[in-house]
Amino acid sequence: MDDVAWKVIPSPYVDSACDRILNALRQHGQLKAALFAVGQAVDNDEGRTILDAWNRDGHMLGNHTWSHKNYNSAETAWFEQDILRNETFLKAWPNYRKFFRFPVLKEGKTAEKRDAMRSFLAEHGYRNGHVTIDASDWYYDQRLRERLAAEPGFDVARYREPYLNHLWDRATYYDGLTRKVLGRSVPHTLLVHYNLINSLFLGEALSMFRKRGWNLIAAQQAYEDVIFTRQPKTAPAGESLVWALAKETGKFDAILRYPGEDDVYEKPILDRLGL
């Protein structure tokens, strides 16, 4: 789970968002997630309270930069300092671990820039907090918040089924791609964000996966799989790790799109549903 952009969660949902997300995880066998926090989003009383709660529940905290700038458009030296600034802040919490996730999963436009950051992360003891299943929960959340701003009485439950369908569609796509590329499935890591839509429906999303035969495991357990040590030689670098491994082979271009996930793919669906 990324960002912790709690400030954009509208009233009256913001006050209960953290408890709702953590309760969703507790209700699934005390499932332990990874929260990749943006420093500037949590360098405040409410942000610290959120990190305290996640830390107390035993979830891993990871580094998602201080400023959430896209590495593709940032200077490498500046980006390195942004990571270190966030580390200085986050290491105050005992469950902070040296896992780093690139904002919007962009890891460098060129091979030179990609490799410079890989060297920096290795030098500072970081592992890449890869996702294998990318998704656009952020866009569903954005659309929902815009609708609530325009229509405060809007029934948020109308987003439940479309959102769950989106997560399932992306999960089955990336799992299928994984089996094509590696000849096996892997312990998947699903990209979602600390936002309104997950405060509403994360528990139901987890139940959906479980009911459909998926096992839910801790984030740190997932990262023990050897797939997370892979470093695809793609440029531009990034996207889902599975996407990048498929791209690296040159064999799957017919079923890959770039970027892997974005609002342009989801907008027609939500428009058609009147959402």
Residues ≥6 apart with Cβ < 8 Å to 5: 38, 41, 193, 194, 195
Digit-coded pLDDT (tens) for 170-183: 999 999 999 999 99
What is the rounded end-to-end Cα distance, in angstroms, of the chain? 24
Distance CA 71, CA 83 (A): 11
Q: What is the pLDDT of residue 85?
A: 98
3-state secondary structure of 273: coil
Chain mean pLDDT for the chain: 98
Q: What is the pLDDT of residue 190?
A: 98
Digit-coded pLDDT (tens) for 136-152: 999 999 999 999 999 99
Q: Which residues are 100's β-sheet partners?
A: 63, 128
Strand pairing class (127-128; 60-63): unpaired
Q: What is the pLDDT of residue 111?
A: 98
CB atoms within 10 A of CB 6: 21
Given pLDDT bands bounded at 50, 70 and 90, which one contains residue 185?
very high
Per the CB < 8 A criterion, the answer to whether 24 and 199 are in contact is no
